[in-house]
Structure 1
Amino acid sequence: MSTFLDTPLAARRETAFHSLAPDRADGSFRLAVIRPTPTTAVIEVAGELDVATAPRLAHLLGPRLASALRTVVIDLSAVTSLDAAGLSVLAHAHHQAAITGRALKLITGPDRVNRLLVNSGLETVLAWHAPDQHGFTALAGQKTGA
């Protein structure tokens, strides 16, 4: 039996978001959506998640948290900075997931990003996990040790 890791990465990306253009002229922010299983979406966030870019993440999260997906994973491992607008999107996503019965999980980012999650109190309500060698493997429908 093959697993989602046996599938080429390009085949796992959602068609509509396969070639996401950077949101900033310098290419410092990127989003990608991967569907490792039919019931799981992983949203990879890279760069600065701030007032200028947070609406783009919110736009991607909304439909997925209202869809037939069971699990939505937000991968923050490549986020370089996070501000109140980014935290607000994460808090709203948690609220929407709770209302719709979806599991929302975070893959943590660099220490400075994690400190903001802790200082904001979001670490007490969000399921968050350190990235493993594959980034999202443990969260995409498989057992996790966290």
Structure 2
Amino acid sequence: MTGTPFSVTTRTTGAGAVVTVLGELDVATAPRLRAGIEALTLAAGQRLVVDLAGVTFCDSSGISALIAARNVAEAAGAGVALAAVPGRLSRTFGLIGLGDFFPTYPSAEAALRG
């Protein structure tokens, strides 16, 4: 498959970190997302927001990386939220029983305000 080149970028705000994912989140790219999230310094009370607006595909490895992100945030005493979840991925979350596992917001800014 060819599509949007994969990238993970991070910006830090007073409320926490926003990790923006672009491209296909799959077995080949999920380790890059995990590494980026594990490198973050989160403080108790902050929020980790994963912005998925640019995700064009997500397989089980990508979903596993998102669950790992939640675990990293919780270990730091921080919250986690997903922003701009594509409809197909939102439907997949519902089908596999993760529909309520992540708080979701229409944008990263809304998620930071939480």
What TM-score does the superposition give when structure 2 sets the normalisation length?
0.84
* Correspondence 1:58-137 to 2 at 5 A: 58-64=34-40, 67-68=42-43, 70-131=46-107, 136-137=108-109
AA in 2 matched with 1:43: V
Q: Kindly tell me: are residues 75 and 62 of structure 1, through their superposed partners in 2, closer, same or farther at Cα, counting changes over 3 Å?
A: same
Return the structure number with greater relative CO, CA threshold 8 A, min gap 6: 2
Counterparts of 1:116 and 1:51, CA distance in 2:
17
Secondary structure of the 1:57 match is: helix
Match of 1:50 among 14, 17, 26: 26
Instruction: Output one character per residue of 1:36-86: Cα deviation in whole Å (capped at 9) or x when no partner.
Output: x2341101101100000000000011132x533711100001100000000
SS at match of 1:126: coil
CA distance in 2, matches of 1:112, 1:27: 17
Shift of 1:122: 2.1
Alpha-carbon distance between aligned partners in 2 of 1:97 and 1:75, rounded to the nearest angstrom:
15
Q: Between Structure 1 and Structure 2, whose CA radius of gyration is higher?
A: 1
What SS does the corresponding residue of 2:42 show, helix, strand or coil? coil
Which structure carries more strand by proportion? Answer: 2
Secondary structure of the residue aligned to 2:85 is: coil
Quote the offset at 1:118 in angstroms: 1.7
Residue 72 of structure 2: SS of its match in structure 1?
helix
Give the number of equivalent residue pairs: 112
What's the CA shift for 1:139? 1.9
**What is the root-mean-square deviation of aligned Cα atoms in Å?**
2.0
**Identity over aligned residues, as a percent?**
32
Give the gaps of 5 or more residues in structure 2.
none
- Return the offset for 1:27: 5.2
TM-score, with structure 1 as normaliser? 0.67
Q: CA deviation at 1:117?
A: 1.8
Distance in 2, matches of 1:81 and 1:120, equals 16
